[in-house]
Amino acid sequence: MEQLEGNVGLYRAKCFRNFLWTLVAGLIWGCGGKQQEAAREGMRPPNIVVIYLDDLGYGDVGFNGASELKTPNMDRLASEGLKFTNGYATSATCTPSRYALLTGVYPWRKKEAKILPGTAPLIIDTAQRTLPGMLREQGYHTGIVGKWHLGLGDGQVDWNRRIAPGPNEVGFDYSFIMAATQDRVPTVYIRDGRVVGLDPEDPISVDYENNFPGQPSGLDHPELVRMQWHHGHNNSIVNGIPRIGYMVGGQAAQWKDEDMADTFLEEARKYVKDHKEGPFFLYYAMQQPHVPRTPHPRFEGTTGMGPRGDVIAEADWCVGEFMKTLEAEGLLENTLIVLTSDNGPVLNDGYYDEAVEKLGEHTPAGPFRGGKYSLFEAGTHVPLVTYWKGNIEPGTSEALVCQVDLMASLAALAGADARQGDSEDLLGAFLGQSGEGRETLVIEATSRTAFRKGDWVLIPPYAGPATNTQVDIELGNSEVFQLYNLREDIGQQNNLAGTRSGKLQEMVREFEQIRGKDYGKIQALELK
């Protein structure tokens, strides 16, 4: 009984603390600029969780209109939280979007922020201000579980020793990651810089240029693979899946692809339980629905859409299970959750996995043109939801927001300096207290950039093919300027550059003021 009363007392104290924070936060947001005061007075800011999907399209979720594919758990977050119809990743590929999310800096300012091999050095400067580092300074415990893909070490990594610098050197107190992507070696988990389960007698070697003597590759030994490669993805074979890059050794440490979702989920839940006294920041970077799509057997065939649909169902289930943990720990009222995706959708991204053949009526890009790798909307215009029980009113926001803005906005929430350069303090928009988003946004796709202002999108001329035939996606390349009005033409079918020359000039001028005039220097898209 005493124990129970003690718990109730603790709970009441916690509720009161949350109430105080909510009250103070309300005053802050009402009056503005008194965050430091709140921090000084010892008020506890909320926990923050960013749930980051990989290659999930705007139209892949029920809350944005998907009907063939069911995502009940993400839909619940959206219906009980705030759904954004103009939410963006900065970029149409993984690494640059993740760089922007964690640094608040446009990735086109950083030439290394492009699709990285698994052996790339860390591209975030250890002296740079980061989202987790900033929150740590405000008293948060900070953790990452899932996909990293921002490089590790100095480019000469010995995978058998502590791997640094990495997430733990740029602001994370705890990390449980895969180095790059599920289709790239090394296919091992890394906890706080050390490969999990590594047998020192079986050291790991990784090479992105040359195979190791006597090792079969997907190219030489197609009979050894259980998932056929379509383009690239024909180097080392791990678990019957040919990968990008070569790896040898580390047998005991190699992940089982079908268990990855459960592994990351368990790590994320454990992180929450271990740090529930908070405040904590968890970056839960899920691997789905990026290739290779390897649903756990209990999700296989559940959607009728092949592995791509099945891993989205699996990811949705993970979101639901993760939410159950927050709920069971009594954390829903003091945890802000942001759910979004690093870039738009792709069907065939290097393996024959029936993503195209079994798509049916489903439209992963929703109403948008293009997809992953594209400067058209589907590349960067992604699902985005904020949820904070009792603090965010359920609804829909049309405010123009971007993941790059989380840095400044969460700084404002946590009581830190919110002036961040490219990152804008849009806390009011993210919490649904304001309909005002950013005025302009520069989006990026494999080093090419485009510009959104209000309802208008400008895509400058770029060399290169209009469509990447390997993935069958329109890239947005054209010899002429493209100008679209999204309010009237969400599918970007009517190029108004020829008829709205005044608007075109205004857009070009403002774009060049931010981007500079040398934006035409681009790299060709090369899928490996």
Whether residue 438 contacts residue 402, with contact meaning beta carbons closer than 8 Å, is answered with: yes
Q: How far apart are CA 10 and CA 20, in angstroms?
A: 15
Nearer to Ca ion, 285 or 457 (CB): 285
Whether residue 280 contacts residue 140, with contact meaning beta carbons closer than 8 Å, is answered with: yes
Q: Taking each helix axis from N to C terminus, what angle separates 94-103 and 406-414, rounded to the nearest 10 degrees?
A: 30
Instruction: Please list the alpha-helical segments (H only) found in 415-470.
Output: 427-430
Nearer to Ca ion, 303 or 343 (CB): 343
Residues lying near Ca ion in the complex (CB under 5 A) are found at 54-55, 94, 342-343
Q: How far apart are CA 32 and CA 461, in angstroms?
A: 42
- Least spacing, CB of residue 99 vs Ca ion, in Å: 12
Nearer to Ca ion, 310 or 342 (CB): 342
- Least spacing, CB of residue 185 vs Ca ion, in Å: 18
Q: Where do we find the tokens 């970007």?
A: 492
Q: How far apart are CA 108 and CA 291, in angstroms?
A: 25
- Least spacing, CB of residue 470 vs Ca ion, in Å: 16
Nearer to Ca ion, 133 or 476 (CB): 476
Phi, psi of 328 (to 5 degrees): -60, -30
In angstroms, how far apart are the furthest CA atoms of the chain? 77
Q: In the numeric block, which tokens belong to residue 116?
A: 């990285």
- Least spacing, CB of residue 35 vs Ca ion, in Å: 33
Q: Where do we find the tokens 């950039």?
A: 449
Whether residue 52 contacts residue 343, with contact meaning beta carbons closer than 8 Å, is answered with: no
Phi, psi of 377 (to 5 degrees): -50, -40
Nearer to Ca ion, 424 or 444 (CB): 444
- Least spacing, CB of residue 290 vs Ca ion, in Å: 6
Strand partners, 406: none
Nearer to Ca ion, 340 or 343 (CB): 343
Which residue's Cβ lies closest to Ca ion?
94
- CB atoms under 10 Å from CB of 296, counted, come to 17
- Least spacing, CB of residue 111 vs Ca ion, in Å: 19
Nearer to Ca ion, 290 or 438 (CB): 290
- Least spacing, CB of residue 149 vs Ca ion, in Å: 8
